[in-house]
Amino acid sequence: MKKVTTSVLLKMKQERQKITVLTAYDASFAKLFDEAGIDAMLIGDSLGMVLQGEDSTLPVSVDDIAYHTRAVRNGTSRALVVADMPFMSYATPEQTYPNAAKLMAAGANMVKLEGGEWLLESIEGLVKRGIPVCGHLGLTPQSVNVIGGFKVQGRDQEKAQKMISEAQQLERAGIQMLVLECVPTNLAASITEAVSIPVIGIGAGNKTDGQVLVMHDMFGISANYMPKFSKNYLAQTGDIRKAVSAFIDEVQSGAFPDESHSFAD
């Protein structure tokens, strides 16, 4: 299968082909996902919760992400590899550049940052320095203490309009992909139409350009709890490879997520 690049993902959006993304943290699962046809893999700071047993993503370090990025890269031959930049690793442009470079050197094709307009300078600087960027709006887990918990974002009109505006600002700054987490389906649809880059949803309905799930949630083995927006594909199929194939098929057909895995206005 053709190697996935940012250009391939952009073409998929333009042709209305759904993009499939899973988190991955080691070479074995990366190889399995890659061979199944997953378009992109995210080394998420979710590893703090699903691998390390923490109650948030905040304790994860750049070294943690770099270690797992290198492992995922070693198991991947075609999918795009995206690495999360962890909490406070990109608070200023001066911090951002060397930390992003470390993740790219470990094997990432792109780095992901959480936040809106305050990131514009750093994003522009990264892109000028040859580092592709994925944005992240909506529920931003690294800001959980400010948000006041893991809550749906953008339900009131003012905040929804701000999120649309920030998505457009991030695109102008140079991001090549955007993750929307825990936002109402209609808002996610509006943002997807408002930008020309691929928009990947998690708890954002099925009107985005693609979907991402945490692999531990998809297999029903998360240590803490199963989010509303996740689905246990392993219970549905009884086999890991069949579970991944079912996820891909349901995302591509638009069957997942359905209303039971989404949020209304």
Chain center to CA of 182: 12
* CB neighbour list of residue 259: distance below 8 Å, 6 or more residues apart: none
CA distances from 113 to 44, 93, 136, 178, 260 (A): 11, 12, 6, 10, 28
pLDDT of residue 142: 72
pLDDT of residue 228: 85
Question: The domain 6-261 is classified under which CATH number: 1.10.3720.10, 3.20.20.60, 3.40.630.20, 3.10.180.10?
Answer: 3.20.20.60
pLDDT of residue 152: 76
The residues that bridge with 81 in the sheet, in sequence order, are 41
Torsion of CA 200, 206, 207, 213, to 10 degrees: 0
Query: pLDDT under 50 in the chain at which residues?
Result: none
Could you list the residues known to form a binding site for 3-methyl-2-oxobutanoate, using ranges: 45-46, 84, 112
- Contact between 110 and 83 under an 8 Å Cβ cutoff? The reply is yes
User: What are the residue boundaries of the structural domains of the chain, listed by start?
Assistant: 6-261
Phi, psi angle pair for 104, to nearest 5°: -65, -40
Could you list the residues known to form a binding site, using ranges: 45-46, 84, 112, 114
d(CA 43, CA 66): 9
Question: Using one digit for the tens of pLDDT, what is the confidence trace for 129-167?
Answer: 999 999 999 988 777 666 555 567 778 899 999 999 999
- Known catalytic residues are 181
The Cβ of residue 171 has, within 10 Å, a number of other Cβ atoms equal to 18
How does DSSP assign the chain, residue by residue?
A: -PPP-HHHHHHHHHTTPPEEEEE--SHHHHHHHHHHT-SEEEE-TTHHHHTT--SSSTT--HHHHHHHHHHHHHT-SSSEEEEEPPTTSSSSHHHHHHHHHHHHHTT-SEEE--BSGGGHHHHHHHHHTT--EEEEEES-GGGHHHHTSS-----SHHHHHHHHHHHHHHHHHT-SEEEEES--HHHHHHHHHH-SS-EEEESS-S-SSEEEE-HHHHTT--SS---TT---HHHHHSSHHHHHHHHHHHHHHT-SS-GGGS---
pLDDT of residue 139: 86
